Amino acid sequence: MNRAVFFDRDGTIIEERNYLHRPEEVALFPGAGAALKRCQDAGFKLFIVSNQSGVGRGLFTLGDVQRVNQRLLEELARDGVRLEKIYIAPEAPDQPSRARKPSPQFLFDARDEFHLELAGSWMVGDKLIDLECGWNAGLKNCILVRTGYGDELARQFPAKLGAAIVVDDLRQAADRILA
């Protein structure tokens, strides 16, 4: 059985920057690489699922997103982390989109391409749309990290979190995934 962990990018693995589009501004949260490595070493396939509406809004290009992602891959590689794939939804919220979160489409795409068992997989993010993406794909295991926007969400709208597990950071998320 192939299991996966799907991560949001901004505010989850790297520090939230308003419409991040410069590779030099990529900053991993402390311990993020080590947390992903633990999941990888336990046999989970790792993916990023990210809405990048700045492209659809005309604030930056898909090439900018690819350069940021390349920098992120280089940073994670220092910890021995290898992502299977990064899925990007470049549309603005008001534009038609096949896979913009909370759509589960990218999780279904990964399931089909990498022969994943979604029932045993996890979604980790800092926004409600990340959790909804996981739930919409049938994942029972969704984690909200208090990094990025997660702390505000957990404080202001706890009733919306449903069965989500709430943790401080990716280290604690990895602890729960591997428990």
CB count, 10 Å around CB of 174?
Answer: 26
Q: Is 168 a catalytic residue?
A: no
Q: Which residue has the tokens 């795409």?
A: 109
The tens digit of pLDDT for each residue in 83-142 reads 999 999 999 999 999 999 999 999 999 999 999 999 999 999 999 999 999 999 999 999
Domain harbouring 111, CATH code: 3.40.50.1000
Q: Is the pLDDT confidence value at 39 over 80? A: yes
Q: Is 130 a catalytic residue?
A: no
Total number of domains in the chain: 1
pTM check: above 0.75: yes
What tokens appear for 73 in the block? 């891959």
Amino acid letter, residue 137 = A
User: How far out from the chain centre does Cα 134 lie?
Assistant: 10
* Catalytic site residue from 8, 64, 130, 169: 8
Q: Give the span between the Cα atoms of 169 and 176, in whole angstroms.
A: 11
Q: Give the span between the Cα atoms of 88 and 139, in whole angstroms.
A: 20
Q: Is the pLDDT confidence value at 165 over 80? A: yes
- Average pLDDT of the residues in 52-62: 97
Look at residue 82 and give its three-state secondary structure.
Answer: coil
Query: What residue numbers bound the domain in which 21 lies?
Result: 4-178
Is-contact 92 53, C-beta < 8 A? Answer: yes
